[in-house]
Structure 1
């Protein structure tokens, strides 16, 4: 079968189509025929060696797929080595999905949807009526946070976007306004996956008892030191969030994912399906993602 693999670090250019043997399922596992594999920003950190938990090389990236079980069921699954034509998944990590649900929209609900859910519920602990600012609001996580924040009771949902077209998408998804820093009035919750200068400017725009949740470093900037005395003066908090260990907590996947699928089925949340790339063009998908040329969920199709 064909898979996308890299054997050294260096960014998108290390991604290469290779012929590998199909994986063999063990006890409690299923062999899936992949319909689409999700592309996440974390995958780009893996290829350049900056991921929080480096994997051994050579490595096939990809943490989520939509695929078919041997008996024909269409499923959404958390996996390892998902950039491939076939993949093995634990039966406990497989969730049935409707035939009519677009694969990109389904994949948007897994890593990015669970990230968005936990950012608001577990990390920020959003309270009714609070103001939320979402960075990268047209991206996979951001576009879902905009919609979920409203569902979870936010009073105002404000967005940051890098282009006029992305700003328009954020407004179409329900953002009350597009904002720049400094804010006229401090925000209760700010969600940041960019880091660098944007992180520092956001911190200065928190309301009293506000929470700035950092969950990525898309800018690839050196991490900004946070002075505890500054937090004292701001009467604010900085909260770190990483999805991988969160997924190991009891109830962290099944309940939230069921809620997300229900919200989509009822038309309350609409995942944004972005670009679709042939599996062999994984390098181009990563390049477009890093260059911020994409919106919503992008996928690879074998």
Structure 2
């Protein structure tokens, strides 16, 4: 079978289509014939600098959709031929993958395979950020960094469905504002002056919840626009800055809470809890008519082009690799 393999870290050119042995499921595992693979920012970090890569060679890819090819011993709730989505710890850029049954999810009847590939990492991440880490409540105001990206597109809609009274987004370029405004946002601000814009929009009060995937200076400026008893949840460091540090001098005066969330960490440490969140997020998406637009798709062999587009910071919505019809 064909898979995208990296044997060294570097630019998109290190992503190479390679013939590799087809995997077979062991006990508690499921083999899936991949139809679509999602492309995530974490994939570019794995390729470029070894983020969460234990050893080389390595196959990137955190989420896929497809049909069950075979099941290992002990797997009873999935059957051959069933349409599924799966969350992986790498390896999704391939024609066949093997994953723990705990992170393979039957797709609802109304969700096709193309749409299914957009769900396994982005949807549970947005749901976990808002409902588990930030504990959104009716009437909260919400600020989301990266509002036009995959998580941002979903988070705006989930915040609105979760009872937010106002949802504000931040984008790297106002060219992306139109896309974000279709995803539940009341207003979208450019990253260079978002803090002043947020305070103006809220009459100086700030927001109750802020979600930040950028880190560095953006994290600090986001913390500064929290309202009293506000909650900031960090879920990435796209800017590549030193890890943030927060002390009493930042949190005590306004009784702020600062936390973190990692879907990869949750999958590794508590797959049962991940499964709960996935099912709840899938239900929320079905009930609320949530949409995650696919802005571009590429053949598996063209994964490098997908990475180039993602790293250009001009993409919106979701990028997919088309593995098989």
TM-score normalised by length of structure 2: 0.86
CA RMSD of aligned residues (A): 2.0
Say yes or no: does 1:77 pair with 2:86: yes
8 Å contact from structure 2 (residues 103, 271) kept in 1: no
Residue pairs, 1:125-144, within 5 angstroms: 125-144=135-154
Alpha-carbon separation, structure 1, partners of 2:271 and 2:303: 33
Relative distance call for 1:46 and 1:126 in structure 2 (3 A) is: same
Alpha-carbon separation, structure 2, partners of 1:297 and 1:32: 21
Say yes or no: does 1:172 pair with 2:182: yes
Say yes or no: does 1:265 pair with 2:274: no
Relative distance call for 1:206 and 1:287 in structure 2 (3 A) is: same
Q: Deviations over 1:94-114 (max 9, x none)?
A: 222256534343222211111
Give SS of 2:308's match.
helix
8 Å contact from structure 1 (residues 107, 297) kept in 2: no
Relative distance call for 1:77 and 1:123 in structure 2 (3 A) is: same
Q: Deviations over 1:138-191 (max 9, x none)?
A: 111011110111111212111112233421111111211123212223111110
Task: Name which of 250, 259, 274 aligns with 1:230.
Answer: 250
8 Å contact from structure 1 (residues 104, 298) kept in 2: no
Task: Name which of 196, 201, 205 aligns with 2:225.
Answer: 205
Say yes or no: does 1:119 pair with 2:167: no
Alpha-carbon separation, structure 2, partners of 1:55 and 1:166: 35
Instruction: Compare 92-101 and 132-141 and name the one that shifted more.
Output: 92-101
**Offset, 1:232:** 2.2
Alpha-carbon separation, structure 2, partners of 1:288 and 1:168: 19
Give SS of 1:72's match.
coil
8 Å contact from structure 1 (residues 109, 260) kept in 2: no
Alpha-carbon separation, structure 1, partners of 2:14 and 2:134: 36
Instruction: Compare 184-193 and 165-174 and name the one that shifted more.
Output: 165-174
Give SS of 1:143's match.
helix
Residue pairs, 1:11-30, within 5 angstroms: 11-30=11-30
Say yes or no: does 1:63 pair with 2:83: no
Instruction: Compare 197-206 and 218-227 and name the one that shifted more.
Output: 218-227
TM-score normalised by length of structure 1: 0.92
Match of 1:39? 39
Instruction: Compare 160-169 and 99-108 and name the one that shifted more.
Output: 99-108
**Offset, 1:50:** 5.1
Say yes or no: does 1:275 pair with 2:296: yes
Q: Deviations over 1:229-252 (max 9, x none)?
A: 122234322212212232343652
**Offset, 1:29:** 2.4
Alpha-carbon separation, structure 2, partners of 1:262 and 1:226: 35
Relative distance call for 1:250 and 1:16 in structure 2 (3 A) is: closer
8 Å contact from structure 2 (residues 4, 18) kept in 1: yes
**Offset, 1:23:** 1.0
8 Å contact from structure 2 (residues 102, 272) kept in 1: no
Relative distance call for 1:299 and 1:2 in structure 2 (3 A) is: same
Q: Deviations over 1:26-66 (max 9, x none)?
A: 22323221101111111111112252x33211111112211
